[in-house]
């Protein structure tokens, strides 16, 4: 049950963790609205995806090529209204891809909505650091 925006964000990150067994990526179908909009702002041009278009390639990747993987929120801020919320966070990730250890970090921006079954992701935009682009606490909501 995702009874708060914080529990939803925690469950979202946990869906990619394959350190102790298969990553529970199917959980993303429960955590997101069926009509969720997911945008990878790291790629040029930016890539917009629906839910299955986002989940299924990650399922394949996490079952074979990407092992010992997890990502986690480093710092985040959110604003909750009645049945909507916004959450912006810095996150890090680490794993082994094609036999090579890697680490990365970036920023994720979530728009959330409360439905009868609890909180769900309505949209997600993420952008990873890369040469010339880095993120710090100043990108979080309310940071000065």
Parallel, antiparallel, or unpaired: how do β-strands 32-40 and 118-128 relate? Answer: parallel
Predicted confidence (pLDDT) per residue in 49-104, tens digit:
999 999 999 999 999 899 999 999 999 999 999 999 999 999 999 999 999 999 99
- Give me the residue spans of the domains in the chain: 5-139
Calculate the alpha carbon distances from 94 to 69, 79, 129, 133 in Å: 6, 28, 14, 19
Fold classification of 5-139 is Nuclear Transport Factor 2; Chain: A, (3.10.450)
pLDDT of residue 43: 87
Q: pLDDT of 123-142, one tens digit each?
A: 999 999 999 888 887 777 66
- Rounded distance, CA 16 to CA 13, Å? 6
As a whole number of angstroms, the distance between CA 73 and CA 79 comes to 16
pLDDT at 104: 96
Write 128-135 long-range contacts (CB < 8 A, 24+).
128/42, 128/104, 129/104, 129/105, 130/42, 135/90, 135/105, 135/106, 135/107
pLDDT (tens digit per residue) in 2-41 = 899 999 999 999 999 999 999 999 999 999 999 999 999 9
């Amino acid at each position: 049950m995702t009874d708060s925006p914080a529990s939803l964000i925690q469950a979202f990150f946990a869906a990619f963790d394959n350190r102790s067994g298969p990553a529970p990526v199917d959980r993303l179908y429960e955590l997101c609205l069926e009509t969720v909009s997911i945008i990878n702002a790291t790629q040029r041009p930016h890539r917009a995806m629906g839910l299955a278009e986002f989940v299924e390639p990650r399922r394949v990747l996490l079952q074979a090529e990407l092992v010992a993987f997890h990502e986690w929120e480093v710092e985040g801020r959110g604003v909750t209204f009645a049945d909507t919320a916004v959450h912006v966070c810095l996150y890090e990730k680490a794993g082994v891809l094609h036999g090579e250890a890697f680490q990365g970090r970036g920023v994720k921006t979530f728009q959330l909505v409360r439905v009868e079954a609890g909180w769900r992701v309505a949209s997600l935009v993420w952008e990873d650091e890369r040469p010339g682009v880095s993120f710090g606490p100043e990108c979080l909501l309310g940071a000065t």
